[in-house]
Structure 1
Amino acid sequence: MPSSILLRGGTVLTHDENDHVVSLVDTDILIDNDTISKIGRQIPISPDQTVEVIDCKGKIVSPGFIDTHHHLWQTQLKGRHADHGLVEYMVKGYMMGYTYSPADTYWGQLSGCLEAINSGTTTVLDHAHIAYSAEHANSALNATIDSGLRSIFAGQVPVRLSHWDEKTCDINTEFLPEWSLDQLSELASKHNRDPKSRVEVGLGFDAWFLPKDLVLGAFQKLKGNGVRLVTSHVTRNAFFGLQSTIPLMDSYGLLREPYSEDAGDGKTLPFLHLSHCNNIPEEDLKRLVATGTPVSSTPDTEAQMALGHPVALHLAFRSATTTSNAGLGIDCHTNNPSSILLQARTLLNVARAQHNDLLLKEDKFPVADVLSSTEKVFNLATIRGARSLGIHNKVGSILEGKKADLVIFDAENSVGMLSATEFDPLVSVVRFSEAADIEFVIVDGKVRKRNGKLVDVESSVNQNEDSTALKWSDVAKKVRESQKEIQERIKLLNTDVGRESLLKAFHVDETRLVDGAV
């Protein structure tokens, strides 16, 4: 295969030094191996070069999208949570990791990664709370590597069940087992110090009730083996708790700006990357902004599961500099599609509705432009998302020397993008495009979606003696088989008993739980 790719004559969405999007028309991008080597018009090709030329006339080239919070393993549970709130999701989704074998984990993870790529996502911070065992964690990591996705794989041992059937549901109280820390340390030593690795290893962590010395000791151990990032769910409600965990994190010295691997020397602890942060006190949000602590908003699940309004466009973030660290995430592709652009639209509309409601309640009406902008949510999906992960030196914008993570929209033949592209290519992508309009996705200089279809993946799971290459149809077949087996296991479980055990373990005041459909 050619080691160089030339994208010829497209409209390229670039960023200036102030994060403003600049559209460059009739522009070429030359990719050498995994890197953008040149951007310009009519880039010449040497006769001795072997270059794949992709005609981008009538197409829009965007940076690959950055997903800053996702649970990629859950594919086989898709559709179950369309009408579920948080409590039902926790029982019938999160706790269902109990029914996954390592093989199920592989197929759920692989298909979750490929669904992300299909929607134009090139990087995911994967809060991988499927590490029931070392084998489960290895299966998820191997699937991520096989998919071709760029990822920070933040492995986490979930709230595990030692036994669950029709009558009982027993919770394993080993929340931070030593075997998991040893495994993540070993994986981080291997992947995080390899400049060619697309996958970085981090930690998913939510057990803030554990003793401080135990928590910080675990973080220090992982940092010593190359772990930069710990991701954690933060929200305040009657289910997860009415006390914000932000002051505790601050007292541990964990609230800080993200840093890259190049700037990580001398840091004794990883940085925190927080998901959600809905409904926490205003002073805590301001503290996150002031310290530069990164936050991921996942508008679809936050709206559906009563977590509160998304914070990425909150006044505290809007009034800060453009470098305040926020991004967008999918969270659960079990109940919403894996499109970061759809999350950007949801965020924009929810934030505008929330803002406008304040005026309407005072019998006032806005006369200026609506709150926030298309450019701001595009940046959350690209450069600001990358900045929140400390990888903006590699990805998040189209710039010579950065990794070749790119998405190409066939604007000329798109039904939805018609006329919008001619008005403003950025608006066309953010407000009118669909996954079906994405013709090519390139990750690390390799084409992962071509002519509107996912390319074959090289699987580490042997399929037959002739080839390990898997078409999407092969992957889908395996997922359906796995889903059927998982569903049969789920039928043996009493979810009411599971719910009782979960509420008890979380010390939930059930008098505060009400019927959300009323």
Structure 2
Amino acid sequence: MAAKSSSSILLRGGTVLSHDADDHVIPLYDTDVLIQDNIIADVGKNISSPSEATEVIDCKGKIISPGFVDTHHHVWQTQLKGRHADEGLVSYMVSGNMMSYVYTSEDTYWGQLSGCLEAINSGTTLVLDHAHIAYTAEHATSALAGTLDSGIRSIFAYTIPLRMTQWDRSSCVPNQDLLPEWALTQLCDWAEKYNYPTSESQATTTVEIGMGFDFWFLPREMVLGMFERLRQKGVRIVTTHVGRNAFQGLQPTIPMFSSYNLLQVPYPPTNTTPTLPFLLLSHCTGLPSIDLSLLASTGTPISSTPDTESQMGMGYPVAMHPSFTATRSANVSLGIDCHSSNPSSIPLQARNLLNLTRVEYNSHLLADDKFPAGSVKGSSEEAFNLATIRGARCLGLDAQVGSIAKGKKADIVVFDAAGSVGMLGAAEYDPVVAVVRFSESADVQFVIVDGVVRKRNGKLVDVHVSPAGVTGESLGGGQGNTPTPWSKIAEQVRKTAKEIQARVDALSLEQGRKTLLATLHTDQSSLVDAA
């Protein structure tokens, strides 16, 4: 069944998870939500259907939630899934991050499209995609095409990866052109086209262009000059990886960002005054409390990714650190990071964050031969908000998405609570707890992005695959072809994964590791395995 865009949709009689002015979640029972075009037109009881053409969805026994917001994700990596299950960050950097080297533009399209659809399947409606797949202009074009064809709402953070001029069994030679002009030109052209749309077709797209950047060793004047150029073209957001450890670096980065005047509250698309983009920092593990307090006081947004941070040796996820829980002005959120190593479910990240936070706090008591008296740190409501309204706030989009309210964009997830095995009992007791602690992707019955149903009755809706997007001739929107079901997309992912693996087999991962560590100037004596 093709993606259906109704002029109006009425969600009838569900439990609506609404937010008050202080971010408290207020369940509204037996409540309707009316969507007209891409906007939530009304929330209330017994809303009249505006026309006979309105699609009415019976939501009795269902939970109607804001769509989930994912603020850090490398969406292109689908074909690499599974290989990082037992790897730490150093190994992943070679077997995952650097593997853009073996991707063709066609591989990129199918990896990106399926990665976006996997996110939608789990209830994600908005993703900040740290897209470090811009190996060539064609790679970047195919990634953007896959994003557009999926229908997800995305901030596509165009990222130039560490590229190689040669990599085989005997050598791995890095490309010294870190910021090629073709890439900056393409990025700026896209920002003008999508961030300041001039046509109706562009205005209805759900993609905004940002940038991913990690080359902070470059001169200050070069970095800030580039950022000013990007902002003039309409780029609001630059995202970067931050962590203090022996691999990522022990030098203080937060004071540097402060001296660059880059620590600031996210601003919305309507604000054209700032001369620089704002930074969204991913991870921030290992930072001293003084740096975390500075980030909290300035409102600088952070994305915490509990699965990868705990597995890959990056440290305790900071999203529920006291610096961020003490004040509503602090901006923290959740991300997936690498769906090649963990599922693309934001509720699962929220659940993992709660557990890790409680382990962290309780461990200090246990080390003192004491025991928790009964209460635990962190609440399901806090975790739910990190996945919804606070995620949107980190992107400067909280006036548009992140909660269910009249006038906001229609980004909505419907859970089949009555039909769920895992949510049974919990949904009746506390619907927020049911979503955070007990839901699975299989319980997501409907996903609506910008007023369009993208998952219906528990199955992904077919999408229009853009052949031109694969070849790099144009950008997405292949509306003239027959809608393609998920099964056919999965076939292409399996096919391209085999071809990618054949190219990986022709490389020396050890040579790649040596090049990586030399490029990062890593003290290899500090790299040891956990006892």
Which of 427, 445, 453 lines up with 2:451 in the alignment?
A: 445
Is contact 2:295-2:330 (8 Å) kept? Answer: no
**Following TM superposition, by how much is the alpha carbon of 1:467 offset from its aligned partner in structure 2, in angstroms?**
2.6
For structure 2, which runs of at least 5 residues remain unmatched after alignment?
A: 198-202, 471-477
Q: Which residue of 1 aligns with 2:380?
A: 374
How far does residue 322 in structure 1 lie from its aligned partner after superposition? 2.0
* CA–CA distance in structure 2, aligned partners of residues 252 and 360 of structure 1: 42
Structure 1 SS opposite 2:177:
coil
Contact 1:3 1:51 in 2 (8 A): yes
CA drift at 1:364? 1.6
Aligned residue in 2 for 1:77: 80
The 3-state SS of whatever aligns with 1:277 is strand
Q: Does 1:290 align with 2:297?
A: yes
1:98 corresponds in structure 2 to 101
Cα distance, 1:88–1:254 mapped onto 2, change above 3 Å: same
Deviation for aligned residue 1:45: 1.9
What is the SS of the residue equivalent to 1:469?
coil
- Which of 163, 166, 190 is the equivalent residue of 1:163? 166
CA distance, structure 2, for counterparts of residue 323 and residue 442 of structure 1:
29
User: SS of 1:227's equivalent?
Assistant: coil
Match of 1:231 among 217, 224, 239: 239
Q: Distance in 2 between matches of 1:236 and 1:273?
A: 16
Which one of the candidate residues 277, 280, 285 is aligned to 2:284? 277
Contact 2:9 2:35 in 1 (8 A): yes
Structure 1: how far apart are the matches of 2:482 and 2:219?
46
Number of equivalenced pairs: 514
Deviation at 1:174, TM superposition (A): 1.5
Q: Is the 8 Å Cα contact of residues 323 and 384 (structure 1) preserved in structure 2?
A: no
How far is 1:196 from its partner? 2.7
| Structure 1: runs of 5+ lacking an equivalent | none
**What displacement does 1:458 show?**
1.1
Q: TM-score scaled to structure 1, two decimals? A: 0.98
Q: Percent identity?
A: 60
Give CA deviations for 1:445-503 in whole Å, capped at 9, x if unaligned: 00000000000011222699983421101110010110010000001001011111111
Show the counterpart of 2:309. Answer: 302
- Given the alignment of the two structures, is residue 396 of structure 1 paired with residue 410 of structure 2, yes or no? no
Deviation at 1:49, TM superposition (A): 4.3
Deviation of 1:11 (Å): 0.3
Q: Paired residue for 1:385, among 376, 387, 391?
A: 391
Residues of 2 paired with 1:66 and 1:75: CA distance?
A: 19
Matched, 1:214 2:217: no
Q: What secondary structure sits across from 1:470 in the alignment? A: coil
CA contact (8 A) 2:308 2:337 kept: yes
2:24 aligns with one of 20, 24, 28: 20
Cα distance per residue 1:370-392 (max 9 Å; x no partner) = 11100001000000000000000
Cα drift, residue 368 of structure 1 = 4.1
**Structure 1 residues 24 and 465 mapped into 2: Cα distance closer, same or farther (>3 Å)?**
closer
Tell me whether 1:108 sits opposite 2:111 in the alignment. yes
Deviation track 1:77-98 (CA, whole Å, cap 9, x = no partner) reads 0000000001100011111110
| Map of 2:185 onto structure 1 | 182
SS in structure 2 at match of 1:153? strand
Equivalent residues in 2 for 1:10-89, closer than 5 Å: 10-46=14-50, 48-89=51-92
For the residue of structure 2 that corresponds to 1:123, the secondary structure is strand
State the alpha-carbon separation in 1 of the partners of residues 292 and 6 from structure 2.
Answer: 48
Deviation of the 1:44 alpha carbon? 1.0
CA contact (8 A) 1:72 1:109 kept: yes
How many Å separate the matches in 2 of 1:308 and 1:216?
A: 30
User: C-alpha deviations, 1:274-300, integer Å up to 9, x for none?
Assistant: 000000111111110111100000000
What amino acid is the match of 2:16?
V
Determine if the alignment matches structure 1 residue 204 to structure 2 residue 212: yes
Equivalent residue letter for 2:24: H
Match of 1:257 in 2: 265
SS of match in other structure, 1:296: strand
Q: 1:241 aligns with which of 249, 271, 281?
A: 249
Q: 1:152 aligns with which of 135, 144, 155?
A: 155
Matches of 1:384 and 1:21, distance apart in 2:
12
* Larger mean Cα displacement after TM superposition, 175-184 or 308-317: 175-184
Q: What's the CA shift string for 1:379-410, capped at 9, x where partnerless? A: 00000000000000110000000000000000
In the other structure, the counterpart of 1:192 is 195
Q: Is 1:5 equivalent to 2:9 in the alignment?
A: yes
2:141 maps to which residue? 138
SS in 1 for 2:448: strand
CA distance in 2, matches of 1:369, 1:31: 40
Hey, what's the Cα distance between the residues in 2 that align with 1:187 and 1:386?
Answer: 22
- Match runs of 1:477-492 below 5 Å: 477-492=491-506
Q: Summarize the Cα distance change of 1:300–1:26 in structure 2 as closer, same or farther, 3 Å threshold.
A: same
Distance 1:152 1:448 in 2: 18
SS in 2 for 1:457: coil
494-503 or 461-470: bigger deviation: 461-470
**Residue equivalent to 2:474:** none
Mapped pair 1:318 → 2:332: no
In the alignment, residue 101 of structure 1 is paired with which amino acid? Answer: T
8 Å CA contact 1:461–1:468 kept in 2: the answer is no
2:345 pairs with one of 339, 346, 359: 339
Distance 1:466 1:405 in 2: 26
Distance in 2 separating the partners of 1:292 and 1:466: 45
Counterpart CA distance in 1 for 2:137 and 2:329 is: 37
CA drift at 1:515: 1.8
SS of the equivalent of 1:116 reads helix
Structure 1 residue 178 displacement after superposition: 1.7
Cα separation, 1, equivalents of 2:92 and 2:422: 33
Greater shift in the superposed pair: 194-203 or 22-31: 194-203
Aligned AA for 1:93? Answer: G
